[in-house]
């Protein structure tokens, strides 16, 4: 049974630049009477996933029967290593295609939609700063995040004046965002020289260049020192203030509790629980699959080995796709 929601705007960070009151209240009120059941319908779903599966060889990475994401809220996606969170992100942003199933955004079927089209329709994700992107300046990274410019049209590209006007507008927009994220003084620095927290800020700022409606953040707090954590949390809450729908993957349960209006828990590719943050720690299936083993006790040597091996696999995978992602992003940037 749903419990009483937490008091409106009750966040531990208090860091939101614009005050976290009304939109959080709205998001929580909308979800207040929604039962804590896997696959439950939301009052105003922006994203609806149906029967999505993704297998790698014999391994089922994702098998989600039905999932709805409430518009204008912050949804936290949690689960143990290998639960399928990143794969689901890849599917929802067109970077991977499911073996079966479909998903819609604003009622529109998004099956087989390429990543740049998904982004143009308003669903964007943050990208970790790959090695290739580290070698670009902060401003160049921002300009790669721009899309929908006039320069992308062939006919308009024949009229250089229009293209240049667009480039100028993009640069102005990039500088506004860099100012908001306190990175304007770093605009000409190579992105690779930024601290962990500044990189996360840049990843978020870059995603905002395309005026998204849904922002998907992959571990926005990973590797961020405590000094910048509050600032980053404030920026995530600000996205909700501005009416965006936020979905984020995060391992830090304090962060999840602090900013989520709703939490979705995955394990072995499936959604095993969903509900407001306070429902999650009471859920036995979640404690068994995740919280008990993962968070309430230090990692055992065996778990540490497993996490390290997973990290090594991720790094190897990232190095493999590094050039690919960069070249497609760079192409999107130069195409316009
Ligand atoms: N390209 C791939 N090729 C083969 N296996 C993959 C691939 N991508 C993901 N997997 C596997 O699918 C499963 C789900 O992985 P995924 O990265 O989505 O999990 P996750 O929940 O994001 O984990 P983490 O929290 O560790 O990032 C894992 O067993 C992973 O090894």
pTM of the predicted model as reported, rounded to 2 decimal places:
0.78
Cα of 96 vs centre of ligand 1, distance in Å, is: 12
Residue 177 CB neighbour total at 10 angstroms? 21
Cα of 61 vs centre of ligand 1, distance in Å, is: 6
Q: Is 6 helix (H, G, I), strand (E, B) or coil?
A: coil
**Mutation probe of ligand 1 site: the residue of 58, 61, 247, 253 with most atoms within 8 A of C-beta:** 61
Cα of 29 vs centre of ligand 1, distance in Å, is: 34
Cα of 202 vs centre of ligand 1, distance in Å, is: 25
Same domain flag for 113 and 140: no
Same domain flag for 134 and 117: no
| Phi, psi angles (nearest 5°) of residue 197 | -70, -40
Q: For residue 263, what is the enclosing H or E element?
A: strand 262-267
Same domain flag for 215 and 158: no
| Residue 334 reports pLDDT greater than 70 | no
Q: Is residue 202 part of a domain?
A: no
**pLDDT tens, position by position, 220-277:** 888 788 878 888 899 999 999 999 999 999 988 889 999 999 999 999 999 999 999 9
| Residue 81 reports pLDDT greater than 80 | yes
DSSP labels, 37-102: -TT---TTEEEEEEEEEEEETTEEEEEEEEEEEETTSEEEEE-STTSSHHHHHHHHTTSS--SEEE
Please give the number of the atom of ligand 1 that sits closest to the Cα of 90: 18
Same domain flag for 3 and 117: yes
Same domain flag for 57 and 116: yes
Calculate mean pLDDT across residues 105-121: 91
* Distance of alpha carbon 40 from alpha carbon 215, whole angstroms: 22
Same domain flag for 54 and 166: no
Q: Which residue's alpha carbon is at the smallest distance from atom 16 of ligand 1? A: 84
* Distance of alpha carbon 206 from alpha carbon 128, whole angstroms: 11
* Distance of alpha carbon 28 from alpha carbon 9, whole angstroms: 10
Q: Is residue 264 part of a domain?
A: yes
**pLDDT tens, position by position, 264-290:** 999 999 999 999 999 988 888 888 877
Residues with CB under 6 A from ligand 1: 56, 59, 61, 79, 81-87, 310
Same domain flag for 49 and 84: yes
Q: Residue 318 is part of which domain span?
A: 130-193+298-336
Cα of 78 vs centre of ligand 1, distance in Å, is: 14
| Residue 3 reports pLDDT greater than 50 | no
Taking alpha carbons only, the member of 173, 226, 235 closest to residue 204 is 235
Contact call for residues 125 and 93 (beta carbons, < 8 A): yes
Contact call for residues 250 and 265 (beta carbons, < 8 A): no
* Distance of alpha carbon 65 from alpha carbon 296, whole angstroms: 29
Cβ burial of 180 (10 Å; 0-12, 13-18, 19+) is middle
Domain CATH number, residue 246: 3.40.50.300
- Confidence band of 77 (pLDDT split at 50, 70, 90): very high
Same domain flag for 213 and 93: yes
| Phi, psi angles (nearest 5°) of residue 52 | -80, 125
Q: Is residue 292 part of a domain?
A: no
Q: Is residue 25 part of a domain?
A: yes
Q: Is residue 290 part of a domain?
A: no
Same domain flag for 104 and 238: yes
Helices 226-241, 21-31: axis angle to 10 degrees equals 70
Q: Is the dihedral of CA 21, 22, 23, 27 positive or negative?
A: positive
Residue 201 has a pLDDT of: 92
Cα of 262 vs centre of ligand 1, distance in Å, is: 23
* Distance of alpha carbon 141 from alpha carbon 236, whole angstroms: 20
Please give the number of the atom of ligand 1 that sits closest to the Cα of 96: 1
Reading phi first (left if > 0) and then psi (alpha if -120 to 50, else beta), residue 11 is in beta
Residue 15 has a pLDDT of: 38
**pLDDT tens, position by position, 187-210:** 999 999 998 889 999 999 999 998
Q: Which residue's alpha carbon is at the smallest distance from atom 30 of ligand 1? A: 82
Please give the number of the atom of ligand 1 that sits closest to the Cα of 79: 21
* Distance of alpha carbon 259 from alpha carbon 313, whole angstroms: 30
Residue 160 has a pLDDT of: 61
Same domain flag for 72 and 105: yes
Q: Is residue 38 part of a domain?
A: yes
**pLDDT tens, position by position, 171-192:** 999 999 999 999 999 999 999 9
Cα of 320 vs centre of ligand 1, distance in Å, is: 15
Residue with the bigger pLDDT between 44 and 286: it is 44
């Amino acid at each position: 049974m749903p419990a009483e929601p937490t008091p409106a705007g009750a966040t531990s960070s208090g860091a939101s630049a614009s005050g976290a009151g009304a939109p959080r209240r709205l998001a929580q009120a909308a979800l207040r009477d929604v039962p804590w059941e896997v696959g439950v319908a939301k009052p105003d779903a922006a994203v609806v996933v149906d029967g999505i599966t993704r297998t790698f060889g014999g391994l089922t990475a994702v098998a989600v029967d039905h999932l709805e994401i409430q518009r204008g809220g912050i949804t936290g996606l949690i689960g143990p290593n290998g639960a399928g969170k990143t794969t689901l992100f890849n599917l929802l942003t067109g970077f991977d295609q499911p073996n079966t199933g479909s998903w819609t955004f604003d009622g529109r079927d998004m099956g087989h939609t390429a990543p740049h089209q998904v982004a143009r329709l308003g669903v964007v994700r943050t990208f970790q700063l790959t090695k290739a992107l580290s070698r670009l300046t902060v401003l160049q990274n921002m300009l790669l995040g721009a899309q929908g410019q006039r320069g992308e049209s062939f006919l308009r590209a024949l009229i250089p004046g229009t293209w240049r006007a667009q480039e100028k507008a993009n640069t102005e927009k990039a500088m506004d965002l860099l100012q908001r994220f306190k990175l304007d003084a770093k605009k000409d620095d190579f992105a690779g020289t930024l601290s962990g927290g500044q990189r996360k800020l840049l990843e978020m700022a870059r995603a905002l260049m395309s005026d998204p409606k849904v922002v998907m953040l992959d571990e926005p707090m990973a590797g961020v020192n405590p000094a910048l954590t509050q600032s980053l949390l404030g920026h995530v809450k600000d996205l909700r203030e501005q009416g965006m729908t936020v979905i984020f993957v995060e391992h830090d349960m304090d962060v999840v509790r602090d900013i989520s209006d709703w939490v979705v828990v995955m394990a072995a590719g499936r959604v095993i629980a969903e509900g407001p943050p306070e429902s999650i720690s009471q859920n036995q299936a979640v404690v068994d699959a995740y919280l008990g083993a993962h968070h309430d006790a230090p990692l055992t040597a065996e778990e540490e080995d497993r996490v390290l091996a997973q990290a090594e696999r991720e790094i190897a995978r990232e190095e493999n796709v590094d050039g690919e992602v960069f070249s497609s992003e760079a192409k999107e940037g130069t195409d316009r």
